[in-house]
Chain A
Amino acid sequence: MLRLWRRHPNVIIGAAMLAIAVIAAVAAPWLGTVDPQMIAPFNRLETPGAEFWFGGDLVGRDVYSRTVYGARVSLAVGLGVAIGGILFGLIVGLLSGFVRWVDQVLMRVMDGLMAIPSILLAVALISLTGASLQNVIIAISIAEVPRVARLVRSVVLSLKEQPYVEAAITSGTPFVLILLRHVLPNTLAPLLVQGTYIFASAVLTEAILSFIGAGTPPSTPSWGNIIAEGRTVFSIAPHIVLFPGLALSFTVLGVNLLGDGLRDIFDPRYVSRT
């Protein structure tokens, strides 16, 4: 642990920051919060102070409680998209890597998907399916699939050239065993690193979608929609925007540091992050 701290402090700092966000999300009801949807017109635009740590919003809801509860949406989206994106990307990537005619078709589709800015793709999907947490996760996952698929495909293609994999194939090892023994273990490390970046970018994308009104519905507090609601009164009550904004930046920074640290551990030469 001490050695990890000395050589890769980013991993520890990032993990600690992420842990704080996870604790906020899980323990939200016990962190001195009140009902985040409770309207109290008397506390409208209350400034931050002893009673309202982060102040009150346009209809007097407690910004602190809303921000703490907002962690739930962001982390759920981050985790959901990281898992969904990797799972679908893995399937597409493996298919492309092993089946040549499928490769041609799938990679052209992936090229097309990559050419569509991910926010806009998500926006189009959500406008057709309606805004809900589940649809937000699916929409952002679809936008992330091409990157994972390309990564997995490149791992598979380079593995197929390796003598030990060639040997396994020629000696008639069942395909499933080759997959489990050689391919999946080799994709694990890059996918873990990629997973943290997907997590971070999904949290940001959810916030942006909610901010422009195409994300989490207003009935659930999320950092993006708290900021969107505070937007109109920003010059008189900046706290409604700033606190969830800080929470958002803090969480994404933590995940990015964790990802950078993991990348340095697994592959010191790996420099590209796009």
Chain B
Amino acid sequence: MLGFAIRRLLATIPVMGIVAIIVFSLLYLTPGDPAAVLAGEQATAEDIERLRITLGLDQPYLVRFGQWIGGVLQGDLGTSIFSRRPVMELIVQRLEPTVALTLASLIIAVAIAIPLGVVAAWRSGGIIDRMAMSLAVLGFSVPVFVLSYLLIALVSVKLQLLPVQGYVPIAYGIGPFARHLILPAVSLGIINAALIARITRTTMLEVLNQDYIRAARAKGLSVRRVLIRHALKNAAVPIVTVIGISFALLISGVVVTETVFNIPGLGRLTVDAILRRDYPVIQGVILVFSATYVVVNLLVDLSYGLFDPRIKY
């Protein structure tokens, strides 16, 4: 197990290395003069020249890349062009809301999707199955911000149950924190539940056809016990895999949801950086999000052994 974990951890190094090369090289590969585009339309020739030096576009590619990657490895992601503060510091400041939103959405997505997928598979072809699968297709099709606005219109504006937008740090009390987090987390959770529910249903359908399920029922175990202890546990590997994949969806969802609900997290940081053409910040955020995605999928791989003892490392 430990050997496998170490090997798997080492295997993420080339992937992250390539992500770093791609993110860094975009500056050089884009046609035209990136310094001129990033400086904006009102920029003078001096502004563009200064930006070129700040971004290091005046130096050879390899020299620049060496310096940059050296910094990244020491936790230095460069300096924001706009606020002139270290990118790492900006990211750390905005971390809490994004982590809170991501975790809450993930929990809601799993809490909706797995029971729904299990019941849909158990009663496949029935009314719950059809409704669940229609909802899943709808979940793929409704963009998260449209769902967010519908929920705001209903819950916040019409019923006035929850705040329209904003974020309260957890340090200011769990009540206000939760009240502000519910709507964004539910919107994002529902969208992500679609994919997970669909995979849960398909995998459960396969498992439920196995002989040992019939045997378990025949020896008199309750439906609930068979579904959860026998079927769901055996269906866990594909489900966990898709939860890992859906994490990418969650990340882009976070960027949008934070904009809709005015949450000062990493998503807002990204959007503000785009509007200000603050490339070092964009670079840093992409690197952090991609690293998180790679780590999550690493954990998913490592978790297989928990669900399926046949998987030996």
A interface vs B, CB < 8 Å?
108-109, 111-113, 115-121, 123-130, 200, 204, 207-208, 211-214, 227, 231, 234-235, 238, 241-242, 245-246, 248-249, 252-253, 256-257, 260, 271-274
CB distance from A198 to the nearest CB of B (A): 13
- The 18 listed contacts between A and B (C-beta, < 8 Å) are A108-B18, A112-B21, A115-B16, A117-B252, A120-B251, A124-B23, A124-B282, A125-B26, A130-B37, A208-B255, A235-B152, A238-B149, A241-B149, A245-B149, A249-B143, A252-B141, A256-B137, A260-B137
The reply to whether the CB of B157 lies closer than 8 angstroms to some CB of chain A is: yes
Contact A116 B286 (CB under 8 A): yes
Closest 6 CB pairs of A and B: A112-B18, A245-B146, A119-B252, A253-B141, A252-B141, A128-B30
Q: Which of B70-78, B209-217, B289-297 contacts A (4 or more CB under 8 A)?
A: B289-297
Give every chain B residue within 8 A of A119 (Cβ-Cβ).
251-252, 255
B interface vs A, CB < 8 Å?
14-19, 21-23, 26-27, 30-32, 34, 37-38, 137-138, 140-143, 145-146, 149-150, 152-153, 157, 164, 195, 198-199, 202, 242, 245, 248, 251-252, 255-256, 259-260, 270-271, 273-275, 277, 279, 282-283, 285-286, 289-290, 293-294
Give every chain B residue within 8 A of A123 (Cβ-Cβ).
270, 274, 282
Complex-state Cα separation, A123 to B16, whole angstroms: 19
Contact A256 B286 (CB under 8 A): no
Contact A127 B260 (CB under 8 A): no
Complex-state Cα separation, A252 to B137, whole angstroms: 10
Contact A118 B248 (CB under 8 A): yes
CB distance from B285 to the nearest CB of A (A): 7
Complex-state Cα separation, A107 to B177, whole angstroms: 43
Main secondary structure of the interface of B (DSSP, over half): helix
Determine the residue in chain A with the shortest Cβ distance to B249. Answer: A117
Complex-state Cα separation, A234 to B146, whole angstroms: 12
Give every chain A residue within 8 A of B279 (Cβ-Cβ).
124, 127-128
Give every chain B residue within 8 A of A260 (Cβ-Cβ).
137
Contact A211 B259 (CB under 8 A): yes
Main secondary structure of the interface of A (DSSP, over half): helix
Give every chain A residue within 8 A of B251 (Cβ-Cβ).
117, 119-120
Complex-state Cα separation, A213 to B177, whole angstroms: 28
Complex-state Cα separation, A127 to B34, whole angstroms: 9
CB distance from A210 to the nearest CB of B (A): 11
Contact A200 B141 (CB under 8 A): yes
Contact B259 A212 (CB under 8 A): yes
Give every chain A residue within 8 A of B137 (Cβ-Cβ).
253, 256-257, 260
Give every chain A residue within 8 A of B22 (Cβ-Cβ).
109, 112-113, 116
CB distance from B12 to the nearest CB of A (A): 9
Determine the residue in chain B with the shortest Cβ distance to A122. Answer: B252
Determine the residue in chain B with the shortest Cβ distance to A125. Answer: B26
CB distance from A111 to the nearest CB of B (A): 5
Give every chain B residue within 8 A of A126 (Cβ-Cβ).
274
Give every chain A residue within 8 A of B198 (Cβ-Cβ).
273
Complex-state Cα separation, A273 to B146, whole angstroms: 23
Determine the residue in chain B with the shortest Cβ distance to A116. Answer: B290
Contact B294 A115 (CB under 8 A): yes
Which listed residue, B245, B256, B289, B290, touches A212 by the CB 8 Å rule? B256
